Amino acid sequence: MNRLFHKVCVTMIMMTCAFKASSQNSSVHVTMINRFTVWNVKANQQQQLNCFEDGQKLAVIVFLSPECPLCKNYSLTLNQLSKEYSSSVRIVGIIPGKAYSTADVKEYIDKYKINFDIFIDSSKSISDVLEAKVTPEVFLFRKDRVILYHGAIDNWIKQLGMQSAMPTEFYLRDAVDMALSDKPVLVQFKKPVGCLINDY
């Protein structure tokens, strides 16, 4: 019994340490993001990224690619979220890498009527720091630099080439609602499905 109790205690301590380390890493990630210089596509100028520019309580970074079919499909969902939560949540689109010009991204913005700011991160600094792998992939975080959720937007896409008629689980929306209600976010990660972020 003593051995079993000892093992349980050790396991709980390790889990607690891992959780604290994860939170600390998230804090470092978000702190570093604000140091990066990006290209503001709508304003047509270079600037330092500030995810809380408009004073919202939460921010969402979503990695996008103008040619990714899923980014096109999710443009309506992201636009709706941006409009619905505009007073409390800022959505920021990031195009990682050098594959797309300002003109390419503007065409994507115009065609899909994107209503949130999109930036080009040509150095891929932000996706590298957050270890983002695909587009679209989202990261939700608070002003105190804690990442609350990251991964898929919802369960609409099961895998590439396979989608449901409509989503039944809304991971990002649920996380936002919980955070705005000062409740713990129960689901903190869901593996995203999408187009791989380019190496250039």
The encoded tokens of residue 145 equal: 């630099």
Domains and CATH numbers, the chain: 2-196 (3.40.30.10)
Q: Taking 60 as the threshold, does the pLDDT of residue 28 lie above it?
A: no
Q: Taking 80 as the threshold, does the pLDDT of residue 10 lie above it?
A: no
Alpha helical stretches, state H, 36-193: 69-73, 75-84, 102-111, 125-130, 171-180
**Average pLDDT rounded to a whole number, residues 111-125:** 95
- Closest listed residue to residue 138, CA positions, set 85, 197, 91, 196: 91
**Average pLDDT rounded to a whole number, residues 170-199:** 95
End-to-end CA distance of the chain: 56
pLDDT digits (tens, 9 = 90+) for 36-50: 889 999 888 999 888
Which range, of 20-29, 50-59, 104-113, 167-176, averages the lowest pLDDT? 20-29
Q: How far is CA 100 from CA 94, 95, 132, 195, 198, in A?
A: 12, 8, 18, 15, 11
With a pLDDT cut of 70, the percent of the chain lying above it is 80
pLDDT digits (tens, 9 = 90+) for 123-134: 999 999 999 999
Strand duo 58-63 + 137-142: pairing: antiparallel
Q: What was the pLDDT predicted at 5?
A: 33
* Helix H or strand E encompassing 137: strand 137-142
**Average pLDDT rounded to a whole number, residues 85-94:** 96
